[in-house]
Amino acid sequence: MQDARTLEPVGAPFHTGVRIPGDKSLSHRAVIFAAIADGPSEITGLAPGRDVASSMAAVAELGAGMSGTRLVPPERLQRPPGPIDCGNSGTTMRLLAGALSGASMTTTLTGDESLRSRPMRRLVAPLGALGSRVTTGPDGTAPLVIEGGGLIGADVAIDVASAQVRTAFELAAIQAEGPSTIRSPRGYRDHTERWLETFGLASTEEGERTRITPGRIPAAAYTIPGDPSSAAYLWASAALLEGAEVVTPGVSLNPGRLGFLGILEGMGADVDGEVTGTIHGDPIGTVSVTGRSLQGVEVSGATVAAAIDELPLVAVLGAYAEGVTIVRDAAELRAKETDRIVSTTAMIRALGGGAEATEDGFAVVGTGFLPGGTVDAMGDHRIAMAAAVAATTADGPVTILGASAADVSWPSIYDTLEAVWSSR
């Protein structure tokens, strides 16, 4: 029996401010940066959930000591007792592959069934150019074996706008003998580049090639801002209900995370954003979203990378909008925790809407309503959470089978949604 959770549609517009849990992308980075740093780091506001716990457990196996907010790196990464289990977390696996490329030892990275079906071959050429020997299984998936050490500088270009692959390369390149460069299509979240630039280890020429200078990451203090990919569930819920409003202070406003806000605005929601500060060169701020009537939208190009984790929510909004919503250039969705072209369209159909998968995205028919129904999360946290948001203005309840999939990024999201929905 799968665990299930049922959410009832919301009665009246809500108005509230919500502190969003720590950003997952930045939490993985803080933990892994700190594990190879020059001295102890302080990390506050780490993301809840199993994914970041996977990164913490992994660096502990490599010799890092974490007590409270303090992470003490080993002098050099230590050989773990066996394969490192990255759980469901692709970010843990890919970022560690980069960090471990600088270590003179052989390490194996593995994960759960979903993670063991995701593409890892994309790491082999960029890390290989630096001299790291990375091998995957015959179909390009984990377990990954990394024989690191003896890295040289290299110039590489990758053909996906993947922040994870870029970060893996950059974490290896800082441990190489000479300078390196990387370029990729745009739209990626450039958290790593900004942090490395603050530490004097990277520079990027006008969004083009990023140059990496070898050196140690210094001991540092990381205050993790709220996760815009989590806030997106609340923004979407407010957008669905005319007159509802949600305000989220202290979230990451990295340009590579803002695609969804642009889409929301394009669909007709009222979106306000204000930068209130930066953390190691990476902007944070307050976002408020107010619901208005929604129109269908077309999403393509660099916006796709900047909204990649929010595209299941775009489908939900599209179902409630007027007109058709089309997402293209998004074949990367097939490489996520599930094939999200399949799981997103299945979710909309399970709720009584019309959605078709295409090769590189999907189309959703905006009928202005969804009857509600039962959605199988398929083990994917973002499908479980998007289905929960669909309950906002559904005609009937929404039941999520396998609701605890949300535990990898936001274990308390259902309670938060219900609290938000009852605030006036």
Q: Which residues bind ligand S3P (CB under 6 A)?
A: 25, 28, 91, 162-164, 167, 189, 308-309, 332
- Which two three-digit tokens encode residue 230? 């989590």
d(CA 322, CA 324): 7
Q: How many CB atoms lie within 10 A of CB 78?
A: 13
Find the helix or strand (DSSP H, E) in which 384 lies. helix 381-390
Least distance CB 299 / ligand S3P (angstroms): 15
Q: Which residue from 31, 38, 30, 32 is spatially nearest to 215, judged by alpha carbons?
A: 38
* Range 272-280 contact pairs with CB under 8 angstroms and sequence separation of 24 or more: 276/249, 276/250, 279/26, 279/222, 279/223, 279/224, 279/225, 280/194, 280/195, 280/198, 280/199, 280/220, 280/222
Q: Which residue has the tokens 């929604």?
A: 294
Strand order from edge to edge, sheet including 398-401: 4-7, 398-401, 373-376
Least distance CB 331 / ligand S3P (angstroms): 12
Q: Which is nearer to ligand S3P, 332 or 376 (CB)?
A: 332
Q: Which is nearer to ligand S3P, 259 or 366 (CB)?
A: 259
Q: In 167-269, which ranges are E strands?
A: 180-183, 202-204, 210-212, 221-223, 245-252
Q: Which is nearer to ligand S3P, 282 or 332 (CB)?
A: 332
Least distance CB 162 / ligand S3P (angstroms): 4
Least distance CB 309 / ligand S3P (angstroms): 5
- Exposure on the CB side of residue 138, measured as CA atoms within 13 A: 0
Backbone phi and psi for residue 258, each to the nearest 5 degrees, phi listed first: -100, 0
d(CA 87, CA 93): 9
Q: Which is nearer to ligand S3P, 132 or 162 (CB)?
A: 162
Q: Which is nearer to ligand S3P, 243 or 301 (CB)?
A: 301
Least distance CB 60 / ligand S3P (angstroms): 20
Q: How many CB atoms lie within 10 A of CB 50?
A: 18
What is the 3-class SS of 95-117, one letter each residue?
Answer: HHHHHHHCCCCEEEEECCCCHHH
Q: Which of 23, 309, 376, 407 is catalytic?
A: 309
Least distance CB 164 / ligand S3P (angstroms): 3
Q: Angle at which helices 259-267 and 311-320 pack, to 10 degrees?
A: 10
Least distance CB 248 / ligand S3P (angstroms): 19
Q: Which residue from 10, 15, 57 is spatially nearest to 32, judged by alpha carbons?
A: 57
Is 309 assigned a catalytic role? yes
Q: Which residue lies nearest ligand S3P, judged by its C-beta? A: 25
Q: Which is nearer to ligand S3P, 85 or 337 (CB)?
A: 337
- Exposure on the CB side of residue 66, measured as CA atoms within 13 A: 20
Q: Which is nearer to ligand S3P, 91 or 392 (CB)?
A: 91
The sign of the torsion formed by the CA atoms of 236, 238, 239, 240 equals positive
- Which two three-digit tokens encode residue 71? 């992470």
Least distance CB 1 / ligand S3P (angstroms): 29
Q: Which is nearer to ligand S3P, 131 or 256 (CB)?
A: 256
Catalytic residues, which ones? 309
